[in-house]
Chains A and B, each alone.
Chain A
Amino acid sequence: MRRYVQTPGPIGQFSELSLRQRAGPLDLVYVAYGLLVVAVVVASYLLGAFGWLPHDPQAMDIGLINAAPFTSGHPLGTDFLGRDLQARLILGIQAYFLPGLLAITISVVGGSVLGILAGYRGGWFDTIITYFDNLLDSFPRLVLILLVIAAFKADIYYVMVVVGITGMPVIANLIAGKIAFLRQKSFIEAAHALGLPAHTVILKHILWLNCRALLVIQATLGMAEAILVETSLSYLGFGVQEPTPSWGNMVQAGANYFLQGNFWPSTAPALAILATILGFQLLGDGLNNLLEGKRRK
């Protein structure tokens, strides 16, 4: 989602500024859609958490297997055991919501700490983070996650700890870069000269005031990543196990009936995954253009 604009000026002359990202009206649409998705996800999570579901998600109705949407009593149809898809889709959010929050908390907090150490202290912290980053890049993430599952157990929280840790270097690099940029400005030195304690300068003036937009954006993108990992693993059978619903194992379960013409039980959760991940990604991208692009000078 980059748009390059040329600033008005002599033809053929590109200034450095002309290559900067500009926020446009489309970004507002992205952010609006993203916020809608977030709202739906949070509301559905709460519905699931309190058990306010339209149907019992485990109740089977053998007489109504693989029902199409808009069947009476089942607005989104039923699956291969005649369980209500709407209720199972809502309950499926439980599978990734808290684990996803855990993953982004780990990557944001850990990434911030590493980034500050690298940017503020520099030296060998910087080197370590670079090597850590390279190490993770040279290793497929899914393989790493499967290794952890093999070594410990197939628990989504273990997986999300891995997702969180592997997400740290990206954030650390961004924050270290931001600090390197901020250090050219003298306000950090000025803040020290005004007698502000080091933790105030680091936490308030650097992290809160200057990096908060960046962290929100990264957290949003991290959530999309966590959902993708959870659904992939559940699809493969390493994540949430039947009969507990997860969007991933719903797609997998429905896929067996796909070629028999009952495409809906697997398509519904697949569309939910698509819409949700797209929402988080677009939210992150739109926020990036609106918050960071505008301020970049």
Chain B
Amino acid sequence: MDAPLLAVENLRTYFYSRAKRAFIRSVDGVSLGVMRGETLGIVGESGSGKSVTALSAAGLVTAGPGVISGRIDLQSNGSRRNLLDGLENYARVTEQDGRVMAVEKDERGWRRHSETLMAGVRGKEIAMIFQNPRSALNPYSTIGKQLVETIRLHTNFKGERQARERAIHWLERVRIDSPRLRFDNFPFGMSGGMCQRAMIAMALSAEPSLLIADEPTTGLDATIQSTIVDLLAQLKTETGITTLLISHDISVIQRLSDRIAVMYGGTVVETGRAAEVLAPEATARHPYTAALLASIPSAETIRRKSYLQAIEGEVLDTIEVPRGCRFYGRCNRVTEAIRGNCAGLEPPLGEVAPGHKVRCWLYPAAGKP
């Protein structure tokens, strides 16, 4: 098997929350691999650490005492480079009882080193699109100018006219009607969906090897959402771009992903092929995934006028990580037989079927790596 294009290994990203006066372990030991050409969907509630995983991969975590550790390997031009190489020299984390007690960080050194690591990667190898596309574009510049700027920066289309033609080509590729006219539009003159298309064009125009789509449909109208999802699906078949897709919307994930990683409380609790993880008749399934699937409104629930099923309890506060399973407090499938384990010991990510891993004591056979 090939090495994955992006391999995240034991990624930990901690932030300091001024309001809570404590460190938050947003991402706490995540390992993922994205194969060339595939779409990996990361799904989870708000606060599960999915966006932070993406921001860490793009080297955009610099704020204050934010600390990243682990490995992020990117395969580029036949060589493999660790995007976090040597960053650990700039920060020291002291932990006690699952709580981060102190972080010592050389801010400037960290930022400078991070910039050298990301040079030529961010924007060129890893491109990113965001939620709220309207605010992701500079309001005082036309979309054409912004597109030309990234094209001239990252590709060999350096000439003004060449870059302009290339920009129009990309506007066409993202199905913006009359791209020559739209070229001179300001973001406020366009709808949210149009802005997102322009944003996608900007991200793809650098011909990156990995596209990170962080909640690309959030903040758009429902009908626009589905057209953006369609566009992403079409671009995937046309360009074969490798995508790391992040969304809390399972239906979006389902439409676009080849494989899925379900995140909860800063860790991956289940991963596998999309069809397998989301299959209605799946036998082995993490209780959190089951709860997420049950909370999707369907024609059935609407017809029966039954309540939408919410997941009981609140998202794990990742300031203090429990010693046992992170989902234990909200889990409705704890049996007496495994209660001791659930409360006291974090389950490992075990394989229940080839390529399908679940982090749960319900599958003890799988629990043995």
Contact = CB atoms under 8 A, between A and B. Distances in A.
A192 interface: yes
B130 A186 contact: yes
A196 B150 contact: yes
Contact of B58 (A193, A196, A205): A193
Contacts of A190: 128, 130, 136-137, 199
Range, interface on chain A: 10 to 19
Interface string A77-89: 0000000000000
A194 interface: yes
B150 A205 contact: no
Interface stretch (B14-22, B86-94, B138-146): B138-146
Contacts of B153: 195-196
A interface, over-half SS: helix
Contacts of A189: 60, 130, 136
Interface in B123-157: 123-124, 127-128, 130, 132, 135-141, 149-150, 153-154
A247 B139 CA distance: 44
A195 B136 contact: no
B319 interface: no
B114 to A, nearest CB: 11
A209 B138 contact: yes
B65 to A, nearest CB: 12
A187 B199 CA distance: 10
Contacts of B136: 185-187, 189-190
Interface string B223-266: 00000000000000000000000000000000000000000000
A147 interface: no
Given A193-B60, A194-B202, A196-B150, A187 B123 contact: no
Contacts of A185: 135-136, 139
A210 interface: yes
B139 A187 contact: yes
Contacts of A195: 121-124, 127, 150, 153-154, 206
A39 interface: no
Given A186-B130, A186-B132, A193 B138 contact: no
B5 interface: no
B163 interface: no
Contacts of B135: 184-187
A125 to B, nearest CB: 14
A187 B138 contact: yes
B203 interface: yes
Contacts of A136: none
B60 A192 contact: yes
Nearest to A212: B140
A244 B199 CA distance: 60
A186 B215 CA distance: 13
A210 B140 CA distance: 6
A205 B58 CA distance: 21
B356 to A, nearest CB: 32
Contacts of B154: 195
B128 A193 contact: yes
A192 B58 CA distance: 10
A42 interface: no
Nearest to B212: A193
Interface string A173-198: 00000000000111101111111101
Contacts of B199: 190
Interface in A4-35: none
A72 B35 CA distance: 92
B249 to A, nearest CB: 19
Contact of A194 (B127, B132, B139, B141): B127
A191 B130 contact: no
A189 B138 CA distance: 11
A178 B127 CA distance: 27
Nearest to A208: B140
A272 B367 CA distance: 89
Interface in A195-235: 195-196, 198, 200, 205, 209-210
A210 B199 CA distance: 19
B130 A193 contact: yes
Pairs A-B, 3 closest by C-beta atoms: A195-B123, A185-B135, A190-B136
Interface of A: 184-187, 189-196, 198, 200, 205, 209-210
Given A192-B122, A198-B115, 13 more contacts: A186-B132, A186-B136, A187-B136, A187-B137, A189-B60, A190-B130, A190-B199, A193-B127, A193-B128, A195-B153, A196-B123, A200-B149, A205-B141
Interface of B: 58, 60, 115, 121-124, 127-128, 130, 132, 135-141, 149-150, 153-154, 199, 202-203, 206
21 contacts: A186-B135, A187-B137, A187-B138, A189-B60, A189-B130, A189-B136, A190-B130, A190-B136, A192-B122, A193-B123, A194-B202, A194-B203, A194-B206, A195-B123, A195-B124, A195-B150, A195-B153, A195-B154, A196-B149, A210-B138, A210-B139
